[in-house]
Amino acid sequence: MKPIKNILKYASTIAIAGSLASTAVADVNVAYFLEWATPNQVAKVEKTYDKVLGEKVNWINFGSGGAMTEAMLAGDIDISFSQGLAPFVNAVNANAPIKMVGIAVAYGAADDCIVSGKSGISKANAAELEGKSVAVPLNTMADFGFRMTMRHLGVDINKVTVVDQEPADGAVSLVDGAVAMACGYGENSLSKMKEAGKPMLTSAEKKAAGITSFDIISVTDKFAQEKPEALRRFLEVTHEANAEFAEDDSKIDVIASDAGLSVEKTEAQMDGFAFPTVDEQFEDYFGKDGRVATMLPFMGKMFATEAAPAKADYSTVVDTSFLK
Amino acid sequence: MLDLMFEYRGFIVGFIFLALIIASIAATIFGRKLIRTEKTDAVFGNPSRALGGWHWVVTGVSFILLVWIYYSWDMARAFYPKSANELCQIAKLDFAVNPIRSVFPLDNEYLRSTTLLKREKEQLNNLENEVNNLELSEEAQAHAEETIQLMRSALKSLTSSEFLDSETVNKLAVVESQIKEITNNLTKEGYPGEPSAEQVKLAESQERWGDTGNEIPLHPSSPRGYKFDAVAKEMKEVSREFGRIKNNNSTFLSQVDELKDRIAIFKEVIKSSKSSDKALADKQVDFSKTLRRVLQRIDDGLIFPPQSMEGIQAALVGLEKEKNNQQGGLGFIDSWMMPGGTIKAGTTACSEQGSGRWLPKPSDTLRTLTRISDPDIGYKGHPLLWYKQKPVSEMVDLIVPDFIAALIPGGYPQYSEDGSLSSNFKSKVYNFASGNFESFSVPVPSGHIWDSLLRVLAGLFFGIILGVPLGLFMGLSRFCKGFFDPLIELYRPVPPLAWAPLILTIFGIQDDGKIFLLFMVAFAIMVISARTGATGTQLSKIHAAHSLGASSRQILRRVILPNSLPEILTGIRIAIGVCWGTLVAAEMLAGTTGIGFVENVARKQSDYEIIWTTIIILGLLGLIFDLIMRWVINKVIPWRGKG
Q: What is the 3-state secondary structure (H, E, C) of B477-524?
A: CHHHHHHHHHHHHHHCCCCHHHHHHHHHHHHCCCHHHHHHHHHHHHHH
Cross-chain residue pair A73–B371, CB shorter than 8 Å: no
- Is the CB of residue A239 less than 8 Å away from at least one CB of chain B? no
Boundary residue ending a domain (B419, B445, B471): B445
* Closest chain B C-alpha to A72 CA, distance in angstroms: 12
Chain B residues closer than 8 Å to A161 by CB: 592
Chain A residues closer than 8 Å to B380 by CB: 138, 162
The answer to whether B627 and B576 have CB atoms below 8 angstroms apart is no
Strand order across the A57-62 sheet: A57-62, A28-33, A79-84, A213-220, A98-107, A273-274
Q: Does B383 fall in a domain?
A: no
Q: Which of these, A142, A146, A190, A141, lies nearest to A168 by C-alpha position?
A: A190
What pLDDT sits at residue B284? 85
| Option in B213, B293, B505 nearest A308 (CB) | B213
What pLDDT sits at residue B214? 65
Q: What's the total number of domains in chain A? A: 2
The answer to whether B527 and B469 have CB atoms below 8 angstroms apart is no
Angle at A72 between CA A69 and CA A78, to 5 degrees: 125
Within a 13 Å sphere around the CA of B310, how many CA atoms are in the beta-carbon half? 5
Q: What is the 3-state secondary structure (H, E, C) of A234-299?
A: HHHHHHHHHHHHHHCCCCHHHHHHHHCCCHHHHHHHHHCEECCCHHHHHHHHCCCCCHHHHHHHHH
Q: Does B379 fall in a domain?
A: no
What pLDDT sits at residue A5? 58
| Option in B120, B591, B607 nearest A163 (CB) | B591
Cross-chain residue pair B589–A162, CB shorter than 8 Å: no
Chain A residues closer than 8 Å to B353 by CB: 73, 97
Q: Please report the number of interchain residue pairs, chain A to chain B, with beta-carbon separation below 8 angstroms.
A: 146
Q: Does A198 fall in a domain?
A: yes
Q: Judge if A311 and A268 occupy the same domain.
A: yes
- Look up the CATH number of the domain holding residue A288: 3.40.190.10
Chain A 278-297, CB below 8 Å of chain B: which residues?
none
- Is the CB of residue A230 less than 8 Å away from at least one CB of chain B? no
**A138 pLDDT band (50/70/90 cuts)?**
confident
Q: Give this prediction's pTM.
A: 0.82
Closest residue on chain A to B210 (Cα) = A307
Q: Which of these, B294, B342, B338, lies nearest to B116 by C-alpha position?
A: B294
Q: Does A228 fall in a domain?
A: yes
Alpha carbons A122 and B206: distance in angstroms, whole number: 49
Return all residues near A187 (Cβ < 8 A) that are at least 6 apart: A35, A37, A261, A265, A266, A268, A269
- Is the CB of residue A244 less than 8 Å away from at least one CB of chain B? no
A39-95 pLDDT, tens per residue? 999 999 999 999 888 889 999 998 888 889 989 988 899 999 999 888 899 889 888
pLDDT above 70 (res A15): no
- Is the CB of residue A266 less than 8 Å away from at least one CB of chain B? no
Chain B residues closer than 8 Å to A220 by CB: none
* Closest chain B C-alpha to A66 CA, distance in angstroms: 6
Q: Does A197 fall in a domain?
A: yes
Q: Judge if A226 and A166 occupy the same domain.
A: no
Chain B residues closer than 8 Å to A90 by CB: 604-606
| Option in A97, A169, A303 nearest B346 (CB) | A97
* Closest chain B C-alpha to A2 CA, distance in angstroms: 27
- Is the CB of residue A161 less than 8 Å away from at least one CB of chain B? yes
Closest residue on chain A to B508 (Cα) = A178
Q: Does A14 fall in a domain?
A: no
Closest residue on chain B to A172 (Cα) = B505
Alpha carbons A196 and A172: distance in angstroms, whole number: 10
Chain A residues closer than 8 Å to B368 by CB: 306-307
Q: Which residues of chain B have pLDDT under 70?
A: 40, 213-214, 274-275, 643
Q: Judge if A217 and A95 occupy the same domain.
A: yes
Name the pairing type of β-strands B341-345 and B350-354.
Answer: antiparallel
Closest residue on chain B to A307 (Cα) = B213
Q: Which of B113, B218, B343, B347 to mutate to test the interface with A (most CBs of A within 10 A)?
A: B347
Q: Judge if B474 and B405 occupy the same domain.
A: no
What's the DSSP call for residue A217? Answer: E
| Option in B213, B297, B346 nearest A307 (CB) | B213
- Is the CB of residue A221 less than 8 Å away from at least one CB of chain B? yes
Alpha carbons B294 and B154: distance in angstroms, whole number: 12
Q: Judge if A52 and A68 occupy the same domain.
A: yes
Q: Which of these, B568, B463, B442, B447, lies nearest to B521 by C-alpha position?
A: B463
Q: Judge if B423 and B456 occupy the same domain.
A: no
- Is the CB of residue A181 less than 8 Å away from at least one CB of chain B? no
* Closest chain B C-alpha to A173 CA, distance in angstroms: 6
Interface predicted TM-score (ipTM) of this complex, two decimals:
0.81
Q: Judge if B148 and B10 occupy the same domain.
A: no
Count of Cβ atoms closer than 10 Å to residue B287 Cβ:
19
Q: Judge if B396 and B318 occupy the same domain.
A: no
Q: Does B372 fall in a domain?
A: no
Within a 13 Å sphere around the CA of B534, how many CA atoms are in the beta-carbon half? 21
Cross-chain residue pair B351–A70, CB shorter than 8 Å: no
Q: Judge if A312 and A217 occupy the same domain.
A: yes
Residue A220 phi/psi, 5° resolution?
-75, 150
Alpha carbons A158 and A131: distance in angstroms, whole number: 9
Alpha carbons B561 and B527: distance in angstroms, whole number: 13
Q: Judge if B150 and B244 occupy the same domain.
A: yes
What pLDDT sits at residue B468? 94
Cross-chain residue pair B606–A91, CB shorter than 8 Å: yes
**Residue numbers of the domain that contains A166:** 112-208
What pLDDT sits at residue A21? 42
Q: Judge if A217 and A100 occupy the same domain.
A: yes
- Look up the CATH number of the domain holding residue B501: 1.10.3720.10
Alpha carbons A24 and B141: distance in angstroms, whole number: 40
Cross-chain residue pair B605–A90, CB shorter than 8 Å: yes
A162-218 pLDDT, tens per residue? 888 888 889 988 988 889 999 998 888 888 899 989 899 888 888 888 787 889 999
Chain A residues closer than 8 Å to B350 by CB: 95
Cross-chain residue pair A90–B347, CB shorter than 8 Å: no
| Option in B98, B509, B603 nearest A179 (CB) | B509
The answer to whether A217 and A78 have CB atoms below 8 angstroms apart is no
* Closest chain A C-alpha to B504 CA, distance in angstroms: 7
Q: Judge if A119 and A203 occupy the same domain.
A: yes
Q: Judge if A55 and A130 occupy the same domain.
A: no
Residue B611 phi/psi, 5° resolution?
-60, -45
pLDDT above 80 (res A108): no
Q: Judge if B39 and B84 occupy the same domain.
A: no
Chain B residues closer than 8 Å to A164 by CB: 590-592, 597, 600-601
Q: Judge if B545 and B618 occupy the same domain.
A: yes
- Is the CB of residue A259 less than 8 Å away from at least one CB of chain B? no
Q: Judge if B421 and B469 occupy the same domain.
A: no
Q: Which of these, A99, A110, A172, lies nearest to A135 by C-alpha position?
A: A172
Please, what is the angle between helix B54-71 and helix B9-37, to 10°?
A: 150
Q: Does A12 fall in a domain?
A: no
Q: What's the total number of domains in chain B? A: 4
Alpha carbons B614 and B610: distance in angstroms, whole number: 6
Residue B587 identity: E
pLDDT above 50 (res A18): no
Q: What is the DSSP string of A23-81?
A: H---SEEEEEESS---THHHHHHTTHHHHHHTS-EEEEEES-HHHHHHHHHTTS-SEEE
pLDDT, averaged across chain A: 86
Q: Judge if A101 and A119 occupy the same domain.
A: no
Boundary residue ending a domain (B445, B460, B490): B445
Boundary residue ending a domain (A144, A176, A208): A208
Q: Judge if A103 and A217 occupy the same domain.
A: yes
Cross-chain residue pair B609–A99, CB shorter than 8 Å: no
Chain A residues closer than 8 Å to B597 by CB: 164
Chain A residues closer than 8 Å to B347 by CB: 97, 99, 221, 316-317, 319
Q: Judge if B340 and B227 occupy the same domain.
A: yes
B388-409 pLDDT, tens per residue? 888 888 788 778 887 887 888 8
**Residue numbers of the domain that contains B217:** 79-364
Boundary residue ending a domain (A169, A189, A208): A208
Q: Does A16 fall in a domain?
A: no
Q: Which of these, B631, B641, B629, lies nearest to B47 by C-alpha position?
A: B641
Q: Does A322 fall in a domain?
A: no
Q: Judge if B310 and B286 occupy the same domain.
A: yes
Chain B residues closer than 8 Å to A165 by CB: 509, 589-591
The answer to whether A206 and A108 have CB atoms below 8 angstroms apart is yes
Return all residues near B562 (Cβ < 8 A) that are at least 6 apart: none
Q: What is the DSSP string of B344-368?
A: EE-SS-EEEEEHHHHS--HHHHHHH
Q: Judge if B24 and B88 occupy the same domain.
A: no
| Option in A26, A54, A316 nearest B347 (CB) | A316
Q: Judge if B298 and B316 occupy the same domain.
A: yes
In sequence order, the β-bridge partners of residue A182 are A114, A135
Q: Judge if A217 and A272 occupy the same domain.
A: yes
Longest dimension (CA), chain A: 78
pLDDT above 70 (res A25): no
Q: Does A119 fall in a domain?
A: yes
Chain A residues closer than 8 Å to B348 by CB: 92, 95, 311, 313, 316-317
Please, what is the angle between helix B511-535 and helix B561-589, to 10°?
A: 160
Q: Which of these, A185, A180, A149, lies nearest to A162 by C-alpha position?
A: A180
Q: Judge if A143 and A164 occupy the same domain.
A: yes
Q: Which of B2, B205, B604, B614 to mutate to test the interface with A (most CBs of A within 10 A)?
A: B604
Boundary residue ending a domain (A162, A182, A208): A208
Q: Does B384 fall in a domain?
A: no
Task: Classify the phi-psi angles of B447: left when phi > 0, otherwise alpha if psi is within -120 to 50, otherwise beta.
Answer: left
Average pLDDT over residues A281-285: 90
Q: Does B29 fall in a domain?
A: yes
Chain A residues closer than 8 Å to B102 by CB: 225-226
Q: What's the full length of chain A, in residues?
A: 324
Cross-chain residue pair B346–A319, CB shorter than 8 Å: no
- Is the CB of residue A51 less than 8 Å away from at least one CB of chain B? yes
Name the pairing type of β-strands A28-33 and A213-220.
Answer: unpaired
Which helix (H) or strand (E) segment holds residue A102: the answer is strand A98-107
Any long-range contacts for B488-494 (C-beta under 8 Å, 24+ apart)? B488/B524, B488/B527, B488/B528, B491/B520, B491/B524, B492/B524, B492/B528
* Closest chain B C-alpha to A131 CA, distance in angstroms: 13
What pLDDT sits at residue A10? 59
Please, what is the angle between helix B496-507 and helix A167-176, to 10°?
A: 40
Boundary residue ending a domain (B71, B97, B112): B71
Count of Cβ atoms closer than 10 Å to residue A118 Cβ:
11
Cross-chain residue pair B590–A135, CB shorter than 8 Å: yes
What pLDDT sits at residue A8? 57
* Closest chain A C-alpha to B565 CA, distance in angstroms: 39
